[in-house]
Structure 1
C-alpha cells in the first residue's frame, strides 16, 4: 500500500468521467448525511407517537444527533492525519450506514436516541472529508466549481428530505427514513473507494488532547441534557437541573483553561483573536441556531396544531431549496466581485423577512401562505454559507485553515442543537402563557365566549362536548401565538446579527483562502 500513499501536493487532479463519477460519489455521502437531518424533522410527531412520548421529547432524536456530531467534528483533523483522508471518509460512511440501520430497529425512544448519538458521532468526519476530497479532485483553478458541486448536494437534500420523510411516515413506517441510508451509503462507499483508494493522503502519528476532549464531552452533554429536560423537570426548581448546570459551567471553565494552555488543543481557541473569524463565527453559528430551531418548530406546529399530514408538512417546507439551487451558482460565480459582507447582509435581511412573515401566521393559514416564505428563504440560503465561510477563513495562514474550518463547523452544529432545544422549550412556555391569558377571557361575562358556547350547543353538542371543542380551539390558538413569538424573535435576531457581520474587516472573494485542507 506504500505506493498508494501521497502527499497532498503530489496528488494530480482527476479528469473526465473519473472526475465526474468521483464528485458524484463523494457528494452522495454528503447528500445522505444532510438528508438524514431534514428527513427526520417532519417525522418527529410520527416517531414520538409510535414510541409513546410527547412531540417535544421526540425532538431529542434531532438534538442528540447534532450534539454528538458537533463533538466529533474537532477530532476530524487528527483522525485524517492519523489514518488518511480516504480511509477516514470510507470508514465514517460505512459506520453511518450501520448506525442508520440500528436507528431503524429501535424499539424505544431511549434506544433510538442512543443509536442517533452513535450515528452523529461517526458522521462527524463525513462532511469535512467530502469537502477535502472534492477540493483535491479538481484543479486548483476550479476550487470554486468543486465547492459549488458540494453545495448543490447540501441544497438538494433539504428539498427532497421533507417530502420523502413525510411520504414514508404517511405510507410506510418511520424506520424506513433510516433504512433508506443503507443502499445510498453502500453505493457511495463502493464508488468512492473504487476511485480514491490510490489517492490516500500521507499519515503521521500526532498526540490527541484526551483531557480537552473529555472536558468538551462533559460540559456539552450536561448543557444539552439540561436544555432538553429543563421544561419537564421545572428548570431550576429541580436538583437534577441545578447539578447539570453546575457541571456545564465548571466543565466549560476548566475546558477553556486547559485548551488555552495545551500544546496540541482539540479546539484552537487562539483563532478567536482574529476579528474576521470571531465575527463570522458569531453570525454564522447564531444565525444557523435560529434557522435550525425554526425548521424544527414549523413542521411540529403544522402537524400537531394545523392538522397537516407528514407529507403535507414536507411539501410545505420543500420549496426552501428550489431558489437556493437556482441562485447559488450565480452567487458562486460573482462572489469575488463583491464585498462578502454585503452578500451576507442581504441573506440575513431575507431571513428576517421570511421569519417575520411566519410570525403573522394564524390557525386558519392557507397552504400558499405557508409555502411562500419557504420559496423566498431559498434566496437567503444561497447567500448564507458561502460569504460567511469566506469571512471566517480570510486573513488566516494556510496552516490555520483546517483548524479554523473545523472549529467554525463545530460551533455552528452545536448552536443548531442548542437552537432546536431552546426553540421548542420557548414555544412550550409561550404557548402556556398565551393559553392562560386566553382562558382569562373565557367566562360568563364575555359575550364572545357565551355566544360561541351557545352556537356549539345549538348544533347538537352537549355542554361537555362544547367545552372540549372550545378548549381544543383555544389550545391551537395559544400554540399558534407561541410559534409566532418564536418566529418574530428570530426575525429580530437576524437583524441584530448583521452587526457581527459588519464588525469584520472588508474582504472580497479573490482574497479568500481556499485549500484542500480547509475542510477539516
Structure 2
C-alpha cells in the first residue's frame, strides 16, 4: 500500500510524532503476547482455576491474532489502512478494559480473543503506515524503529507482568494498555488522516473464513482441554479432533480452488517458502512453548515471585538486542540458510543446557541459558524471512507474509498446549517413579527427633517430591525441544538460496 496514492508529505516534528505513535502501537500489541506469561499463576489463583487452564489466556489471544492477520490486506483495502488501524487500536483498548474487569475464565478468554482479533492487523499495519509516511531514503530507519519495539516488547513483557502482578494486581497488566490506546488513537486521528489509502469494494471469501475459524477453534480447544479429559478416552475430544481434521481438509481444498481465498495457500508451491515456513513453525512453536512453561515452573515449584520469574525469562532478549544489528549486516553477505541453521542449532544447544536444571538451581544458572538463547534468536528470525519471501514471486510477497504470520502464531499456540500437557504428564510419571523408590523412614525419624510433627514431615516429603518430579519433567521437555531444534536446523538446507532480495518490512 505504501506509495499507492499521492498525498501531502508529513514532515518535521509531525513525522517524528506519527512514527512514534505507530511504533508505540506495535509495542503495545507485541507486549501483550508475553506480559501474561508470568501472571498466569496469579490469574489462576484469583479465578480459581488450574495453571494448565490458565494457559488459555495466552493461547486464546495467539489464535485470535492468527485468524485475523491474513485478513489485514482485505480490511485495509475495504475500509482504508488508517481507518482499520484506528478502529483496531480502539477495539484493543476496549477489550483490554474488559480483560482487566473479568471475573471468570470464560469472560477473560472471550475478551482475550477480542484483543487478538483487534490486535492482529495492527502489527502489519504499523509497518505499512511507517513505510507510507517516511520517505524512501528513510525506510531503513523506520523499520529499525519498528524492529526495536518488536524486540524490546517481549523483553519487558515478563518483567512488567511480574512486577505489576506482585506489586498491584494482575488486572493492571491489561489496564496499562488504556492510556497507550488513547494516545495512539488521538495521534492516528490527527496525524495520519492524510495518508489514508484508497477504499474499494472488495468481496471476501466468507466460506473460507468460517472454515478457518471452525477448524482452528476446534483444534485449539482440543489441545487445551485434552489433558483434563484424558484425551481420546473422552467423546468430546474425539469429536473436536474429527471437526478439526475434516474442517482443515475442506478448508485447504476450498482455498486452493477459490479465486480470492482468505488465505492464499498457493504460495506453498514454492519449495523454498514451504521449507522455511516448516522450519519456522517447528522452531517458533518450541521456542514460544518454553517462554510460557518456564515462568510457570519457577513460580509453581521453585518459589519464585512473578517479578523474579520475569527477570529470568527476560534475559533472552538481552542477547537478541545485541546480535540483531550484526545479523542484519550478515544477511546480504552470507548464505541465509547457514545463518538459520546456526541460529536453530544454537537454540538447541541452549535447550541442552537447561536439561541439567535441578530444583536447587540458582538464579544465574537459570538466567544464563536464557541470555545465551537470545544470541541465536536473530540468526533464526531474520534470515528465515529472507529465505521464505525470497522464494515467492514479487506479487505474492504480501500473501506469503500473511501465511507466515498465521502459521507462526498458530505454531506458538499449539506448541504451548502440547508442551504444558507433556510437562504435566511427565511430572506425574516422575512422581510415581520417585515414590516407588522412596525410603523415608530414616528421614522421618530424624525430622521427628528435631521437633517436627508427623504431619509436618509428610508435608516436607511431599514438597520435595513435587519439586524433584517437576524438575525431571522440565528436563524431559527441554531434551525433546533440543531434538526438534536439531531436526529443524537440518531441514532448512532443503530450501534453495533466495533468488531475490526482500524489501524491509515485507514480513508481518
The equivalent position to 1:162 in structure 2, one of 158, 161, 165, is 158
Residue 269 of structure 1 corresponds to: 265
Cα deviation, 1:352-399, whole Å, max 9, x if unaligned, reads 122111121100010011110121122122222211111111032222
1:281 aligned counterpart, secondary structure:
helix
**What are structure 1's unaligned runs of at least 5 residues?**
none
The answer on whether the counterparts of 2:271 and 2:391 sit within 8 Å (CA) in structure 1 is: no
CA distance in 2 between counterparts of 1:330 and 1:88 reads: 35
**What are structure 2's unaligned runs of at least 5 residues?**
none
Deviates more, 1:143-152 or 1:483-492: 143-152
The equivalent position to 1:414 in structure 2, one of 410, 415, 418, is 410
The equivalent position to 2:89 in structure 1, one of 76, 89, 93, is 93
Matched, 1:38 2:27: no
Residue 459 of structure 1 corresponds to: 450
Deviates more, 1:354-363 or 1:5-14: 5-14
Residue 496 of structure 1 corresponds to: 487
Deviates more, 1:403-412 or 1:485-494: 485-494
Residue 369 of structure 1 corresponds to: 365
Aligned length, in residue pairs: 508
Residue 62 of structure 1 corresponds to: 58
CA distance in 1 between counterparts of 2:286 and 2:434 reads: 28
The answer on whether the counterparts of 2:101 and 2:171 sit within 8 Å (CA) in structure 1 is: yes
1:41 aligned counterpart, secondary structure:
coil
CA distance in 2 between counterparts of 1:366 and 1:7 reads: 53
Structure 1 residues 318 and 13: alpha-carbon distance in aligned structure 2, compared to 1, 3 A threshold: farther
The answer on whether the counterparts of 2:3 and 2:132 sit within 8 Å (CA) in structure 1 is: no
CA distance in 2 between counterparts of 1:181 and 1:427 reads: 32
* TM-score, normalising length: structure 1: 0.94
Residue 112 of structure 1 corresponds to: 108
The answer on whether the counterparts of 1:80 and 1:88 sit within 8 Å (CA) in structure 2 is: yes
CA distance in 1 between counterparts of 2:131 and 2:326 reads: 20
The equivalent position to 1:514 in structure 2, one of 498, 503, 507, is 503
Structure 2 counterparts to residues 283-294 of structure 1, below 5 A: 283-294=279-290
Structure 1 residues 404 and 269: alpha-carbon distance in aligned structure 2, compared to 1, 3 A threshold: same
Shift >6 Å, 4+ stretches: none
The answer on whether the counterparts of 1:7 and 1:201 sit within 8 Å (CA) in structure 2 is: no
1:267 aligned counterpart, secondary structure:
coil
Structure 1 residues 282 and 385: alpha-carbon distance in aligned structure 2, compared to 1, 3 A threshold: same
CA distance in 1 between counterparts of 2:496 and 2:254 reads: 30
The answer on whether the counterparts of 2:2 and 2:132 sit within 8 Å (CA) in structure 1 is: no
Matched, 1:25 2:21: yes
The equivalent position to 1:304 in structure 2, one of 300, 311, 314, is 300
- What value does the CA root-mean-square deviation take over the aligned residues? 1.8
* TM-score, normalising length: structure 2: 0.96
Aligned-residue offset at 1:9: 5.5
